[in-house]
Chain A
Amino acid sequence: MRIFRFVVRRLLQLIPVLLGVVVLAFLLVRVLPGDPVRSILGQNATEEDAAAARARFGLDQSLWQQFLDYLRGLVTGDFGTSIQSGNSVGSEMALRVGPTLELVVIAVSIALVVATVLGIWSAKRANRVGDHSVRMFALVGNSIPEFWLGLVLVLVGYSILGWFPAPNGRVDPDTNLTPLTGADLVDAVLTANGPAIASAAAYLVLPVLTLVVGVVAPLLRSVRASALEVLHSESYAAAKAHGLRDRTLHYGYLLRATLVRLPSLAALVFGTAIGSTVLVEYVYSWQGFGQWALRGLLYRDYPVVQASVLVIALCYVLVFLIADVVHAILDPRVRL
């Protein structure tokens, strides 16, 4: 199985990359200006208090020793202890990844479907009114600041119309949802908690919509451009000149050829969406990974920053790996 071998090879290649990321993240946090210990101790802490706190987090040891300790922890799955909260970073992160992935996966999936359908539709009507509207929509999506769009949606959807819940969480606490994965909609479905499903879905609408508008734009442009390229290509013209039926043309000659280049862009967009969640979560008080990592960064919480950098990098390269496999399946010219 060629694809299987390819995946294994790529996973092995990941190891040095991730190791590099671990080293870089470790060094990066330590050159950040600011002292993590000072931020938890408050104004009138003495030098001794600070030294004691440093010793508690192992920050008094040599850089080399700290790194080895960190590595040893990583191997056993221990990401360290948060300086801010004093909790295990691993368990904190486990609570935070689910909600963010839920947002991103739903948004990117919706965006992919919308972009494919609308992009091909638009290319087939190139330079007519419908096409121009789609292009303008993509341009607007490209230009709109997500955090501001989020605020406007809150203003309209909650403050004015009152259709959606306030931007203060992910699910109504009264529904007594038992968290399993952290992704509330999934948890609600798994526990068959009817009210929680409704509530989680209602909370999801605005943030997902915010993300979709930003994420769909580049996908839409790309699908439209490649569909146009296929429509203008000699091979499509040949199929058309040979009088093939519209259905055959659409499914046999347009669709797959158009989607060939989508996977790698989708992976890129997935990354962009992860970046955007930092802003979107902030607007909707969505207690997710982005907010957690941002706070770690602002308070120089070394273990938190290290862990989140590693997780983001891992997530990103895995998504690109998936994209490469999908690309190879779609495009016979690609050799794995």
Chain B
Amino acid sequence: MAELRAAVSGDSAQTPVVVAGGDRDSRFARRMIIVGATILSVVALVAVFAPLLSPWGETEIDPANTLVAPGGNHLLGTDGNGMDIWSRVLYAARLDLGIALAAVALAVVVGTLLGLVAGYFGGWLDDVLMRVVDIFQSFPTFILALAVAALLGNGTINLIITIAAVNAPAYARLVRAEVRSLRELPFVDAAITSGASPVGVLWRHLLPNSLTPVRVIAPLNCGWAMLTLAGLSFLGLGVSIPEAEWGAMISLGAADVVGGRWWTSVPPGLALFVCVLGFSLLGEGLQDRANAKRR
């Protein structure tokens, strides 16, 4: 509801009085979605075509030029091992994007299934599942990720499992809550009285409707997964050098930053930031749109 504002002050009753607003909401949301999607498409393209775009190999060492400043042969300089920063920033998109997407997909599938079952059937199954979720959620997620990563050890698959395990409880809780509120709606009663089986009710009616909030959360979550992955690598619990990963690259250059040699840490961090921002923009835009629909 907007304030009434006279656009033209005149006596004539036929001059229309215009109340501003109404459409700017959706325009901003659309812009966020477009910008976010563009960023992510570019990152995805970079990941796919990294070999074509980078002058040096992912782990190629130029022993004569360690820690050289940007310019010349090395667009963004080299790190302490003599590896080309620019090339590695491009290559790193593969691991970062890949692990984050795979982890979130896994978390969504597992979390949704658990939430559906717990929410619909209730009873002891629900109690047990929710207590497990409670324990998971009584720790800060990053701390939990640290512990699970330490438990499982390094490796791409283990990192995917780690990040998925830390996120799945949130999806389980979200879907469970959604299912429980949907269950009270008349269309579920309608399905039951129409003779639908419990699996039919779950699969055909509750699942498609309970995914609405998941769709909005998942992009935001992808960004968070990337930050977690980078954070783990930064502390030495994730991807380790010489593999190209933004967090590990920042970690490698951290000591140089204090001495003013910014090019080892700043570019990978910037790439990570922009990529996460893409997910955030997309997620925020989708959320806005969902809110507008609900209103």
Contact = CB atoms under 8 A, between A and B. Distances in A.
Nearest to A168: B258
Q: How large is the interface on B (under 10, 10 to 19, 20 to 34, 35 or more residues)?
A: 35 or more
Contacts of A158: 258
Interface in A114-168: 126-127, 132, 135, 139-140, 142-148, 151-152, 154-155, 158-160, 166-167
Q: Which has the most chain A C-beta neighbours within 10 Å: B140, B142, B223? A: B140
Interface of A is mostly: helix
Interface in B216-231: 220, 223, 227, 230-231
B269 A148 contact: yes
Contacts of B142: 272, 275-276, 278-279
Contacts of B56: none
A17 interface: yes
B47 interface: no
Contact of A154 (B21, B220, B230, B257): B257
Nearest to B24: A127
Contact of A159 (B231, B260, B281): B260
B151 A31 contact: yes
Nearest to A270: B140
Given A135-B284, A160-B260, A272 B235 contact: no
Contact of B258 (A154, A272, A276, A316): A154
Contacts of A147: 230-231, 234, 247, 250, 254
Interface stretch (A20-28, A42-50, A169-177): A20-28
A272 B144 CA distance: 11
A60 B276 CA distance: 47
B28 A148 contact: no
Contacts of A32: 150-151
A143 B143 contact: no
Contacts, number: 128
Contact of A278 (B235, B269, B279): B235
A-B residue pairs, 10 tightest by C-beta: A275-B142, A148-B269, A275-B140, A143-B276, A271-B140, A143-B277, A127-B24, A159-B260, A143-B280, A151-B257
Given A143-B280, A147-B250, A297-B147, 14 more contacts: A24-B135, A28-B147, A33-B153, A127-B28, A143-B223, A145-B269, A147-B230, A147-B247, A159-B259, A271-B140, A275-B143, A294-B235, A298-B236, A312-B143
22 contacts: A17-B138, A32-B151, A143-B276, A145-B231, A145-B250, A148-B265, A148-B266, A148-B272, A151-B265, A155-B258, A155-B260, A159-B260, A166-B258, A232-B1, A271-B139, A272-B142, A274-B140, A278-B146, A294-B146, A297-B146, A297-B150, A313-B138
